[in-house]
Chain A
C-alpha cells in the first residue's frame, strides 16, 4: 500500500501524524499514543507474527493496525490515540499537571482537551499549558489546605461548644426526668386534695342554690363588642381604600398579602373577591358587615394577635363552672362558645365564610348578657364562701403542678428533637441551630436558619415565604455536606417549595448564593467552618497526588 502514491490515488495516508509511538524522554517506555504508562506493557506485538490481541481478547490483529485510525476491536482498545473507536479512551500524560483519560471522541476534534495538547495534531497548535495549570492548581490546593487548616481550628471551637451543649442537654435531660417523676407524685397528691375540697364545696353550694332558687339570675351581655368591631373595620376600610373613592375594590385588596389564603405568593382576583362577598367593590357599611368579619382573622393572624385557642384550654374553660376563679374568662354565652369553636377552624385557614354572618344579627342586640366586670358573685354565706375559697386553692395547686409537668414535657421534647437532628459526627453543627443567615439578591432576601427553615422574602416587602422546613442531611457520599428542607409553601399550580443546602468550608458562616434551577426547588450555597476538615482534605490531596 505504501508504494501506491497516496496523493495521486486520493487515498488518505494510513498512518496519521498522531499515530507515531511515544518514545521521547518524557516517558521511558515506548508505547502507542494515548496509552498510559501503566498500560504500556499491554501494547507489545506478539513476537514472531507481530500480531496483537484486543484487550478484551475478542480478536487478534496485526500490530500495525494499532492506532491506524480504524476501529478493529469491539472494546476500542486498538485505537488509544485516534477518534476511530466509539468506546475508546485517550490518555493525556499532562506532564507538570494531572494526567487524565478523555473519551476518544475528543481526539482530533480541533479542541485542545489535554493541557499538553497531545489530543490534537500539530496543525491545531494546542499550547502546552500543563506547567502553568499545574502551578495554579498547586497554589489553589495550598490555599484550600490553608483554609481547611484555619477553618478546622474554628471548627474545633464549634466542636467543643457543641459537645458542651450536648453534655448540658444530657444533664438537663436527666434533671428533667427526675423532676418529672417528682411532679407526677405531687400531682396525685394534689388531685386528691382537690377532690376532697370540691366535694365539700359542692355540698355547700347545692344548699345555697336551693335557698336562692327564686332569685332570678337573669343576665345579659354588653354590646360593646360590635361597636369596637365597627371602629376597627372603618380604620381598615380607610387603609384599603387607597384611591379614596369611598369604595374598597378587588384591586385594592390584591395588594394585601395577608389575604393570600392559599399562600402561593399572590392574592388572586378570586381570593380578593371572596373577602368582598364575591362583589367587585363595597362601600363602608357593606364592608363593615360583609368584608371585615372575613378579613379580621387574617389581619389578626398577621399581626400575631390572633392565637388559635389550644384545644385543652377550651376544655378547661368549659370545665370551669364556678365564678370567681381569677385567670379564666367569664362563662361564654352559647353563641360565643360556638364562635370560639369556629375560630379554631378559621385558624386552620379553611374557615367557612358564613361564620361571622351568623353572628351578625346578634351584634348590637340590646338585651345581651351583662359585661364581665358587672358580674358580681352571689352573696354566699361565710361558710360556703370559705369552702369555695378552699376548693379554689386546691384547684390552683393542682393546676400549678400540671403546668409544671407540661413545661417539663415540652422541654424534654425539645431536647429529644435537638438530639435527633444530627449535629454532625462531632457535634460541630450544634452552634448553628438557632442562628439565622441572610442572603440578598436583586429581588429577594433569603434566610437560612439551620435545622429550622429556609425562607424567602421580597425586597419590596410582603410576607415571608417558607421554602422548606428542616428535613434531613442528604449528602452523598459525605452525609454532612448537604441538607434538605422540605414542605415549604405550595407553589401556584405546582409542588411545595423545597430547598437544598450545599455546604462548603470557610472561615465565617454565610450564604454565598441562592438559585432556583427547578421551579420551586431552591439551592443555597452555605459556607461554614463546620465543613472544614483538614485531615480529610489532606487525605484527598494525597490520593490525588498518588495518581500523579
Chain B
C-alpha cells in the first residue's frame, strides 16, 4: 500500500475511533448554542402577534406586520397562495441591521402564483380561501390554520414556538472580542443597550467553541424557529438524510433530527445524527389526509418531532369519536440563520403532497438508460489494465455491466481534471475500449482543490479569487484528500461558469462525452475542520457567511458540474452522482447513501433511507451494494445485490481497504445468484425507464412507501422493509441473515381487509389475502409481486450492457385484477439525447379487459424504433384461450397461445411499438 495513503489513514485516525462513528466529533443540540436557545422556547413559549391595521391584501397574497410582544421587534409577514394547493409563508425582520439570507437555487423556478379571496376579516382573525383550501390567520397569539376542504391539516405556530432572533449590535460589556476581530461595525456599535426582554445570555451567542474549533460569530444570534402541527396526521416522515426508520420518531428525551451536511465516517444506523444531505421537507400522514411543509432554509437546522405513540384502541376511539385525545404530531424546525420561508403542501393524498413538493423543487430529469443499469465501482480500480480486465471478466461470466467507475486514485495526486500518467497513460484508449462495448466510464471530481502552485486549476482559482474566503479575506485552506486544499466558491456564478468550462472536451481532453461524473466530498468535507466540514464564519460570494448557506454548498457544486456536462455535449443527458444534497439537487444528480457498512443493518437501512429520499424528491437513490466499509460474506453480498436491483441507483462500491469483491471472486453459486439478480434488473429496465419518464412528467416518485397507494391502511404506514416500484411492483427483499422465509405485508384497500391481488413475478402464484404472509425463500429468491391490475413492460433478452438492448423486443406482463382487467404504460426513446423533448418519444398506455389488449398513445408516437412486442404474458385468466388474434389497421392474424403453469403466453405478436393494435384472446 502507498505511503500517502498511510498518511491519510493516520489523519483519519486522529479524528475517529477505529470502530464506527465517533459521536464526539459531532455536536449535540446541547453543544450548539442556537439549538439550545431555540429549544428553550418549548418550555416558555413566545409571544408574537400581528399588528392591527398593517394588513395588505393582493390577488395572490397578503402581508402584515408581526411583532414580538416581549421585545417589540417588528417583522414582515407574508402569506402567498401558490398553484396546486400550496401556500408560502415568509417572515423576515422588517428592518434588519443587515440583509438576512434567503435561499436561492433550490426552487426549480418562480412558483406559480395562485389566487386568494379574503372571506372574513375581523379583529384578530383573517380568513382567506384559495380554491378549495382555506387559511385562518389568528392575530394574537399569532397562528395560522390551514384547511384542505374544511379539514384542518396544518397549524403553524399552534404551540407558540415561533422564535426569531433579530440581528443586533454586540453589547460592549459582553465577553471580550475574539482575537483578530477587527470588525469596524462592531466597534462602532453597542450604542443601544439591549432591553432586558431582548437579552440573549447564552454563552455561545457571540462566539462558540467546539472541540478545538472556534466560531467567531461576528453577527451574533440570528436563529429562526417555528412549529408545525398536523392535526389530521398520525405519523410524520421526511427530512432526509438520516440512517433511521421511514416514520420519524419522537425526539422527546433525545436530540432533535439534525440537518447539516456532514461527512460522517462509518455512520451508525437508527440515528438522528446528520448525514451528507439535508432536505427540509416533512409530511404528516393520516388515513384521510396528508400534508407537508417545506422549510426552506440552508443553515444548520434541527427538527424536534412530537408524536404520540398511539395504540390501536385509542386511535379507534379517536376515529369513532372524531376527536383525538392526544396532541397531533408536530415538528419544530430550528435554523441557525436566514428567514422563515415555509411552503405548506395541503395534499390531500400522499401522492398529491409529493407532487406539490416536486412542483416547487423539481424532479430528476429522465436519465440516460445506462445510468439505470448496473454500475461497477471500487476505490480503486488501479490502472488501465485493471479497468479493462474487470470489464472483460463481466463478459467472461456473462454478467451484464454498464459502467465502470474510477475513484480518486486515477488522478495525478488528487488534482482533479488530471490523470495519473503512470497508471493511466492512455485514458482515451481505455475509454474507447469500454464505449465500444456499449459501456460507460464515470470519474470522480471532488470540490477540494489541491493547493499546489504547479496545478493550473489552483493557480487560476487563486489568481482570480475564486476560493471561499476566511473572515479576513484570505483563501480558506483546509485539509482533504490532496493534503492542503481550498474550495471554489460555487455560489459565485462566475466561478460556476469557470468550473463548467473545465469540462469542455478541448479543455479536459483526456475524457470523452461519454464519461460521466461523480461529485463526492461536497458537504464540503474538510478533514481538519469543525465537525469535518468548513468553519461557519467563512465568507461566500455576496458576503454571506458559510453559516447561512452550508447545506447548499454541494447543490451549488452540482449546478456547476451539470452546466459543464450540458455545455460539453448539449444533446446528451448528463449523469452525476452526488453525496451532498439539498432540496432541488435532484434536478442535477442521483444520490447514494454514502459510506455505509457491509452489515445486515445497513442493508436494511438502504431501503428505509431511499424511501425517505424518494418522497423528498430524490427518486434516483441507491446504496453501495455490498457495503462500503468491511467485507461482506457471500450471503450478505447476494442479498445486497438482490435488494440493490430494486433501488433506482444500482452500484457496487467498496473501500480501498476491503477485499476485492467482483462476483467471480466468490464461489460459483454466489456468482450465479448475483448474475440472476443483475439479469433481473436488466429485464425490468423498461419499467424503470418508464417510471423515470413519468417522474419527470408528473413528479410521482419512482419508488414509493406503501402508504402512497394504501393511505388508509394504518398497518402499512410504518412498513419500511418493503417498497413499491410505481404502483406496479411490491418488493420485499430478503435482508436478514440465514432465513428461509420472510414476512411480507400485503396492504389493504378498504376497511374490510380487502387487498389487491398480487402475483409472484417468478411463478405467477397469486396472493389474494391482505395482511402479513410468511413466504418461503431460497438463496435465489427475491420476493417481488406484480399488482393484479397492472401491466409491466420488460425486455427479456440478455445483453452485456443496457445500451445494446435499444432495439430488443419487449415483453408485456399482464396481471389481472378481480375484474379481469389491467392497465400499464411504457415509455421509450433513444435513451440518451434530449430529442425526446422535441417529441421524439413513444409514451403508450396498455389496457386489458374483456379478453382484449389495446394500446393508446399519449401524444403522437414520433420516435422511430425497430423494437417490437415479442411476447405477452397474462396471469389471472380463468380459462386458457385456444388462440389469439392481433389486429392492426383492420388486418387480423392468428397468434399461438402457449399455456404455462399459472400464466399463458401469447407467442410473438410481432407488433411494432408505434402502431395501434388490438390483441384478442379466442376461446373456441
Contacts and interface: CB of A to CB of B under 8 A. Distances in A.
Contact of B914 (A8, A10, A492, A519): A10
A442 interface: yes
Contacts of B886: 11
A517 B915 contact: no
Contact of B891 (A9, A106, A441): A9
Contact of B800 (A69, A106, A518): A106
Given A10-B888, A10-B889, A269-B10, A520 B1 contact: yes
A234 interface: no
Interface in B877-924: 886, 888-889, 891, 893, 907-912, 914-915, 917
B437 interface: yes
A265 B656 contact: no
Contacts of A86: 679, 796-798
Among A104, A109, A264, A491, the most chain B Cβ lie within 10 Å of the Cβ of A109
Given A11-B911, A14-B910, A517-B386, A5 B800 contact: no
A111 B912 CA distance: 24
A441 B656 CA distance: 21
B910 A458 contact: no
Interface string B649-692: 00000001111100000000000000000010000000000000
A347 B7 CA distance: 28
A12 B912 contact: yes
Interface size class of B (residues with CB under 8 A): 35 or more
A516 B1 contact: yes
A1 B893 contact: yes
A127 interface: no
B808 interface: yes
Contacts of A10: 888-889, 911-912, 914-915, 917
A515 interface: yes
Contacts, number: 112
A4 interface: yes
A5 B891 contact: yes
Interface in B623-667: 656-660
Contact of B797 (A12, A84, A515): A84
A493 B914 CA distance: 59
B60 interface: no
Contacts of B386: 515, 517
Nearest to A494: B657
Interface string B516-545: 000000000000000000000000000000
Interface string A193-231: 000000000000000000000000000000000000000
Contacts of B398: 103, 105
B795 to A, nearest CB: 11
Interface string B852-890: 000000000000001010110000000000000010110
Contacts of A348: none
Contacts of A442: 422
A105 B797 CA distance: 7
B799 interface: yes
B1 A492 contact: yes
Contacts of B656: 519
Nearest to A72: B907
B426 interface: no
Nearest to B898: A72
Contacts of B871: 70
Nearest to B912: A10
Interface string B1-43: 1110011011001100010000000000000000000000000
Among A5, A104, A106, the most chain B Cβ lie within 10 Å of the Cβ of A106
B436 interface: yes
A1 B14 CA distance: 75
B494 interface: no
Contact of B6 (A8, A14, A70, A266): A266
A481 interface: no
B804 interface: yes
B799 A266 contact: no
Among A11, A106, A494, the most chain B Cβ lie within 10 Å of the Cβ of A11
A103 B679 CA distance: 14
A493 B804 CA distance: 42
A443 B409 CA distance: 15
Interface in A457-475: 458
Interface in A71-89: 83-84, 86
A9 B382 contact: no
Contact of A109 (B6, B7, B18, B804): B804
B1 A70 contact: no
Contacts of A14: 908, 910
A364 interface: no
A159 B401 CA distance: 47
A12 B910 contact: yes
A110 interface: yes
B1 A83 contact: no
A517 B9 contact: no
Contacts of A265: 1, 3, 6
Contacts of B383: 515
B891 A8 contact: yes
B657 A493 contact: yes
Given A10-B917, A515-B382, A70 B908 contact: yes
B438 interface: yes
Interface in B100-142: none
Interface string B380-419: 0011011000000000001000000000000000000000
A268 interface: yes
Interface in A377-403: none
A520 B657 CA distance: 9
Interface in B130-183: none
Contact of A9 (B422, B797, B888, B907): B888
Nearest to A9: B888
B382 A516 contact: yes
A266 B679 CA distance: 45
A205 B896 CA distance: 117
Contacts of A12: 809, 866, 868, 910-912
Interface string A92-103: 000000000001
Contact of A493 (B9, B382, B917): B9
B814 to A, nearest CB: 18
B6 A492 contact: yes
B904 to A, nearest CB: 15
Given A4-B891, A9-B888, A266-B10, A105 B798 contact: yes
B888 A105 contact: no
Contacts of A4: 891, 893
B665 to A, nearest CB: 9
Nearest to B656: A519
A494 B657 CA distance: 7
B659 A458 contact: no
A21 B546 CA distance: 71
Nearest to A1: B893
A443 B908 contact: no
A9 B889 contact: yes
Contact of A266 (B3, B436, B658, B911): B3
A264 B891 CA distance: 78
Contact of A111 (B3, B422, B438): B438
Interface of A: 1, 4-5, 8-12, 14, 68-70, 83-84, 86, 103-106, 109-111, 264-266, 268-269, 441-443, 458, 491-494, 515-520
11 contacts: A10-B911, A86-B679, A86-B796, A103-B398, A105-B800, A110-B804, A492-B9, A493-B9, A494-B1, A519-B1, A519-B658
By Cβ-Cβ distance, the 8 closest A-B pairs, closest first, are: A10-B915, A105-B798, A109-B804, A266-B6, A10-B912, A11-B910, A12-B868, A9-B888
Given A9-B893, A10-B912, 7 more contacts: A12-B868, A86-B796, A109-B804, A265-B6, A269-B10, A516-B382, A519-B1
Interface of B: 1-3, 6-7, 9-10, 13-14, 18, 382-383, 385-386, 398, 422, 436-438, 656-660, 679, 796-800, 804, 808-809, 866, 868, 870-871, 886, 888-889, 891, 893, 907-912, 914-915, 917
